[in-house]
Amino acid sequence: MKQKRIDFEKLSRRIDELAEKWDTSGVVVVISYDEIVHSNTYGWADREKGVRMSPDSTYLISSKSPLLLGLCLMQLIDRKKISLRDTLDRYIPEYRHAARITIRQLLYHTTGIRDYFYGGRMVDLSRSEQHQALSDEDRFRMESYAYQSPITFAEAHAMIADAPLDCEPGSHINDWSATNVLFQKEIIERVSGMSLVDYQRRYLFGPLGMTETVPGSDATTVSYGCIKETVLVRLPVVEEMDHALRTTIDDMVKLMRGLVDRRLMSKKAWTAALRYDREGMGIVAENVNGIACGEGEILGYEFNLYFDQDTKLAYIHMTNEIQIMRRWDDEWFYFRKEMRRAIEEETTYPRSTRLRPYSDQNVWDAMNLAVDDSQKSFVWDAKPSLCFALAKRRVRRPYVLMEGRRAVALLVLSIDKKRSFYNVDIVLVDKRYQNRGFGKIMLSEALEILKRNGAKRIEIGVSRFNTAAQKLYLSLGFRPAAVYEGGMALRIDLDSSS
């Protein structure tokens, strides 16, 4: 059911404000239930020459983008051309470690295969006095070009053929590995009998009507990389890039709609494609605080395409400039992160809400939960709350309230059966999601957890000035047990005979 409470006009204004704040370049489009609810271009097609971005501007994407490679491989799995259980020797028998590595490990970037670029070429460049003598900007340009320059699979294989694996397959993620990308590309081409670009044009772009996505590097926008988090570096295009595709935002919106509508492959294949590992990594996208994010980057051009197939929400940020970053309150921020958080704030309501133990599957998102400044005298943010909980692990138990795959709130309970002590230590609802019912859902589940663990009486403390929290606790049956100058002790008896 469409969420009627979403104020897309307010959200659109907020995105525009953030784009101005960050002086970002590119385009943002948001769709909800197939309707475009926000679309705007920002900044510069050519910052140096003062050429503004327009809706007709063209961009570059790479045929080797993680999203596109993942879609191709999942289609081949869907058509039973390959299997996640297959070992690589079935497709690339010349690689001496191929029998130890599965397609699944290749798709989740846990192969352990030596990285020919970062573990090879970049190491050589770091030892070159001539290279190190260049300015930071020129060194960055040369390294960017080196990464994007054409290389055949045979050339890359020759560089790593005799190298041992960096780790046991399946044990560590090496998602930055350029070699993993070439192995994926090679398997697609060997199995399909087509070049990667031809395969994508026939099986991805064609079915979605993406007629403006074609081979070439002649975009109307000029790209910029970023060094030291804040310095933009102009990157003239390398014409010989064999994996460059010129595209438009209209075509990328068609791709967005295809992902939201579960096109291109079966529902079963989509389920497998969006099955995340413990680090939040999936085959076609990663889990970014509850929403799938498919991405791609080529010489300063980036796209980040977020989509939720259940809520029919999708949005994209496409840019010709790598994001600049700033650090505030011990956290890195940039335009896309703030934009995503603004969209999360406006679109997140109780729908599929569950309380889950704090674990490595929700650790990063849970740590970023924060209360409003006006509440900081009442409630800690997530990081000190988790430190408090983990300091006494036998008694204190942290939980994270998840809306789908998104962390929205944090709970810490004390359960000491020997002392018959049961307490609600911390109730924290992120400032973006307050006054939507999440606190009541979480506390209701907390009472059930404590009751299952033998609680007959539960206590909770609250500031006398935190009237919102008092109202919530009283609505669930808590009653004042003691009132102090600055705080209150509330109690609920679950056994009427006590």
* Contact (Cβ atoms closer than 8 angstroms) between residue 106 and residue 184: yes
| Residues 249-300 pLDDT 10s | 999 999 999 999 999 999 999 999 999 988 889 999 999 999 999 999 999 9
Under the banding of pLDDT at 50, 70 and 90, the label for residue 3 is: very low
Q: How much is the average pLDDT of 111-138?
A: 93
Q: What is the DSSP letter of 152?
A: -
State the virtual CA torsion across 365, 371, 373, 375 in degrees, nearest 10.
-160
| Residue 25: per-residue pLDDT | 97
**Residue 124 amino acid letter:** D
- Please say if the pLDDT value at position 486 is more than 90: no
Per cent of the chain over pLDDT 70 is 98
Pairing of strands 457-463, 421-429: parallel
* Contact (Cβ atoms closer than 8 angstroms) between residue 55 and residue 350: no
Under the banding of pLDDT at 50, 70 and 90, the label for residue 4 is: low
Q: Angle of helix 66-78 relative to helix 178-192, nearest 10 degrees?
A: 40
Cα 13 from Cα 420, distance rounded (Å): 52
> Please, which residues have CB within 8 angstroms of residue 339's CB and are 6 or more apart in sequence?
15, 18, 19, 28, 317
| Residue 260: per-residue pLDDT | 97
Domains and CATH numbers, the chain: 8-347 (3.40.710.10), 353-493 (3.40.630.30)
Cα 315 from Cα 239, distance rounded (Å): 30
- Please say if the pLDDT value at position 497 is more than 80: no
Q: How much is the average pLDDT of 94-111?
A: 96
Q: Angle of helix 438-452 relative to helix 467-475, nearest 10 degrees?
A: 50
* Contact (Cβ atoms closer than 8 angstroms) between residue 378 and residue 465: yes
Residue 488: both structure tokens together: 């209150």
Whole-number CA gyration radius for the chain: 26
Residue 336: both structure tokens together: 């896309």
* Mean pLDDT computed over every residue of the chain: 93
Pairing of strands 487-493, 35-42: unpaired
φ, ψ for residue 432 (rounded to 5)? Answer: -75, -20
| Residue 2: per-residue pLDDT | 41
Strand order in the sheet with 244-248: 58-62, 244-248, 214-215
Q: How far is CA 192 from CA 62, 82, 185, in A?
A: 19, 10, 11
Q: Is 349 helix (H, G, I), strand (E, B) or coil?
A: coil
| Residue 10: per-residue pLDDT | 95
Cα 315 from Cα 154, distance rounded (Å): 38
| Residue 496: per-residue pLDDT | 47
Q: Report which of residues 174 and 303 the model is more confident about.
A: 303
* Contact (Cβ atoms closer than 8 angstroms) between residue 397 and residue 413: yes
DSSP per-residue string spanning 181-207: HHHHHHHHHHHHSS-HHHHHIIIIIHH
Cα 392 from Cα 372, distance rounded (Å): 27
Cα 182 from Cα 157, distance rounded (Å): 9
- Please say if the pLDDT value at position 402 is more than 50: yes
Direct distance between the N- and C-terminal alpha carbons of the chain, in angstroms, rounded to an integer: 44
Under the banding of pLDDT at 50, 70 and 90, the label for residue 467 is: confident
| Residues 286-335 pLDDT 10s | 999 999 999 999 999 999 999 999 999 999 999 999 999 999 877 899 99
